[in-house]
Amino acid sequence: MASNNFKFLFRLISLLIATASAQLSSNFYATTCPNALTTIKSAVASAVKKEARMGASLLRLHFHDCFVNANIIKSQLENLCPGVVSCADILAVAARDSIVALGGPSWTVLLGRRDSTTASQSAVNSNIPSPLRDLTTQLYMFTNKGFTVNETITLLGSHTIGQARCTFFRTRIYNETNIDSTFATSLRKNCPATGGDNNLAPLDATSPTSFDNAYFKNLLNEKGLLPVDQQLVNEGIIYSQITEYSNNEETFRTDFANAMVKMGSLSPLTGLNGQIRKNCRRQNAQISPSTHNVMKCQLLYSFW
């Protein structure tokens, strides 16, 4: 009897460890929601066709891993396989599909992330670099997460698509000197010295809806939109990477795909951690810890 109890306990602990530390995998939904990926792909394709910026916004959401806009796709998947596909996985796939829809590279998205049970402003503030910080601080935030400086520059190449609000580039167009004067003058028309904070300009003025290497070419011509973008060319080691990407788009595409896989695998919640949100905007209704434990155990027994 004692030995049976011991065996049971041992299996329970092993299962808990295994499920709690589950790895991401590319075929995570193969049996539980086989059409998940094609559903996301066609939803992204039609959203980007209607409004190209949607692709950029989805990519940025994946970077910030916040869930505000993923709800349309989420509701389609809830109809297809309720309670199965996490919002975090939807964003990871939607970001990849958005980039492909805008002409960028593709990669295999590893799946099995779960959603957080909290939404903490302070966690966002300490993990997401404020756009107004200088380059050194930005690089530090990324290296702190395990990225090399090279990978960080590669990821910043995301600014080849999408737009930014006047409030984030006003200093650059009125106060900075390392900016092409014609470029600055044209931007001032829509971004006055005061007011118009939310007026938009493309991050890549040359080809704002194409995922290409124009962002890096622009930097070499002092046409970076954000202060942090243009600061990249001041650093010797970074300068050589920018020149390389300007001359060789294929290198940028390959490096970008690899860096996105790494970004998507940063300490994800897996196994029994976190939850599958019903609504991407908020965590599921709170349940008391005791109910939660009962449910966890029911789940474990159903595996047995």
Show binding-site residues for Ca(2+): 65, 68, 160, 204, 212
Buried b / exposed e over 97-111, threshold 16 CB at 10 Å, is bbbbbbebbebebbb
* Interface with ligand HEM (CB under 6 A), residue from 105, 112, 129, 224: 129
The answer to whether residue 109 forms part of the interface with ligand HEM (CB under 6 A) is: no
If binding is defined by CB under 6 A, does position 57 make contact with ligand HEM? yes
d(CA 253, CA 35): 27
Which residues in 164-183 contact ligand HEM (CB under 6 A)? Answer: 164-165, 168
Beta bridge partners of 169: none
Stretch that binds ligand HEM, among 17-25, 73-81, 159-167, 233-241 (CB under 6 A): 159-167
**Amino acid at the residue 72:** I
Instruction: Report phi then psi at 165, rounded to 5.
Output: -85, 150
Contacting range for ligand HEM; rule: CB under 6 A; set: 53-61, 211-219, 238-246, 272-280: 53-61
Which part of the chain contacts ligand HEM (CB under 6 A), choosing from 16-24, 42-50, 58-66, 176-184?
A: 58-66
Structural tokens at position 146: 């395990």
Candidate residues 102, 156, 191, 238; the one interacting with ligand HEM per rule CB under 6 A: 156
Range 59-98, binding ligand HEM (CB under 6 A): 59-60, 63
Nearer to ligand HEM, 134 or 250 (CB): 134
Residue 155 in contact with ligand HEM, rule: CB under 6 A:
yes
**Shortest distance in whole angstroms from residue 3 CB to ligand HEM:** 53
Q: Does 227 bind ligand HEM (CB under 6 A)?
A: no
Per CB under 6 A, 261 contacts ligand HEM: no
Query: For residues 98 and 79, what is the distance between their CA atoms, to the nearest angstrom?
Result: 22
Q: Which is nearer to ligand HEM, 33 or 164 (CB)?
A: 164
Annotated binding site for heme b: 159
| Candidate segments 30-38, 85-93, 112-120, 162-170, binder of ligand HEM by CB under 6 A | 162-170
User: In the complex, which residues of this chain contact ligand HEM (CB under 6 A)?
Assistant: 53, 56-57, 59-60, 63, 129, 131, 138, 155-156, 158-159, 161-165, 168, 203, 226, 228
